[in-house]
Amino acid sequence: MQTGLYEYKVFGFLEDCSPDLLADVFMDLDYRKQWDQYVKELYEKECNGEAAVYWEVKYPFPMSNRDYVYVRQRRELDHEGQKIHVILAQSTSMPQFPEKSGVIRVKQYKQSLAIQSDGKRGSKVFMYYFDNPGGQIPSWLINWAAKKGVPNFLKDMTKACQNYHKKT
């Protein structure tokens, strides 16, 4: 689909964060509300026998917040004796999550995440991410997301992994 929007592909390493721990942190929505400063609202709800996630993201003034409704799956694969965690998420439409006034619904969202051991105490991570945020997004925000937002997210994930055991 040609949208003129960016698709983000991230390949990186997270030291001192095992693949099992990283996948657990990534999937724990309640914990994410504690460490992700951009979360306004985030929860999972059973709809028609399927778990769906509602996520509202804070956007800087004067832009409107965005929200997402998506389904996700987590699987563990074995590739040549190496365990790989795969997490897939994709937007969906469900009447149980009506659109809110003043919030722009992101209707095109897709994320694929693969996590494996770096052979030490950390993780190798590959992430593909696409969303169509709707509305007018200024180029300064797009540039910030590419240059600072994604690297900062990886730093925040590392810190979240380090503090996760304290939460439980």
Residues in the chain with pLDDT < 70? 1-5, 166-168
Give residue 7's pLDDT: 81
Give residue 22's pLDDT: 95
**Tokens for 53?**
């996630």
Give residue 3's pLDDT: 60
Give residue 100's pLDDT: 96
Q: What are phi and psi of 63, to 5 degrees?
A: -80, 160
Give residue 114's pLDDT: 97
Give residue 109's pLDDT: 93
**Tokens for 35?**
């460490």
Give residue 123's pLDDT: 94
Pairing of strands 104-106, 123-132: unpaired
Question: What ranges do the domains of the chain cover?
Answer: 12-167
**Tokens for 87?**
């997490």
Q: CATH top-level class for 12-167?
A: alpha beta
In the chain, DSSP assigns E strands to 7-14, 39-47, 50-57, 66-79, 82-91, 104-106, 108-117, 123-132
Structure confidence by residue, pLDDT tens digits, 56-65: 999 887 789 9
Give residue 99's pLDDT: 96
Partnered with residue 87 across adjacent β-strands are 74, 113
Partnered with residue 13 across adjacent β-strands are 124
Nearest to 128 by CA among 18, 38, 8: 8
Q: What are phi and psi of 148, to 5 degrees?
A: -120, -40
